Structures are given as C-alpha cells and as structure tokens.
Amino acid sequence: MKSIQDLTLKEITDLLHKGWMSHDGMWFYHCVKEFGIEKANKLNKAAIRSLAPLEMKRLRKLLGVEQIETFEEFKNLFTGGFELLIADFMNARMSFPEKNVLHWEFVPQQCFAYRGMQNIGVIEDYECGVIYRVACWIDNLGIQYTIDPPVGKCMMHAKGSCAGNFLLNLK
C-alpha cells in the first residue's frame, strides 16, 4: 500500500481531475434525466460561464498574473492553466502555432466529453461545453477573439474530429 507521501503530484492531480469530471458528468446526466438535453445544455453553459471568473481569478493569483495585454502573457497563463486544469485522460492538446493563435485538438474519437455523451445517449444533441469553457476563460480576461470553426454541437460526432483555433486580438 502506498502512503500519501509516496504519491506523485501527477497521481494526485489525476485523481482530483477524475473526481471533478466524474461529478460534472453525473451532474449533466441527472440534468438530462430530469429536464431533457436542451435544458441540460443550457444549465451546463450557465454553470461554466459562472465558474470561469473563479477559475481565472484563482489561476492568475496562483501564477502571479496581474493582467494580460500581450500574446506572450496570454500564452504563459494558458500554458500553466492547461497544465493544471486539463488532465491527460481528457485527450486534449493545446498549442500556440503562431502569434495570437491558440489551437485545440482532441485525439480522434477520444474526447472525454464525446465519450461521456455517447455513453448516456445524448451525443446527437450535446452542445460542446469543453471549448465553451475555454472561450469563457478568454471572455473573463476581456480579450477579443473569434473561433474557427465556430463550435456548437459536438464536432467529434458531426465530423469525426475536433480541432480549431481561437484567433486572439492581442499585442
């Protein structure tokens, strides 16, 4: 048996991420059962939007970030944020291929939300909360951007893949 002191930081954060995402999935599942998928999507987005300011405030404080005015400042914040908030099992990859571009991509057929929504039988009507969450983080920072391609319903389901760019308006 391992003691807590024998655990790595990665093992601890993975456990916390899995617990948080399991709760999130169960919450969504019970919203679907109680209210239907349309209302569950609406409630999910409302919860994400209200959580984003808390997440950004905590992340900025933890990383010592006062303001974001340049792409390099944004890149540093989001690199740290992804490391802390996006777990390996989510199968998400984020990169910065050029100035003012935040690229996302999920391993084909392996997005945790896609698989979860398939499992509960609502993938046809699920509106992506994952990319919406990232958009809410950026909104909370007051940064102007566009998303290419626009995200609504699950792209993994519709196209077989999920990838795109946040095109940022920063110095």
Parse the chain into domains and list their residue ranges. Answer: 4-168
Model pLDDT for residues 14-73, shown as the tens digit of each residue: 899 999 999 999 999 999 999 999 999 999 999 999 999 999 999 999 999 998 999 999
Top-level class of domain 4-168 = alpha beta
Q: pLDDT tens digits for 95-136?
A: 999 999 999 999 988 999 999 999 999 999 999 999 999 999
- Confidence (pTM): 0.92
- Give the amino acid at 135: A
Report the first-to-last Cα separation within the chain, whole angstroms. 52
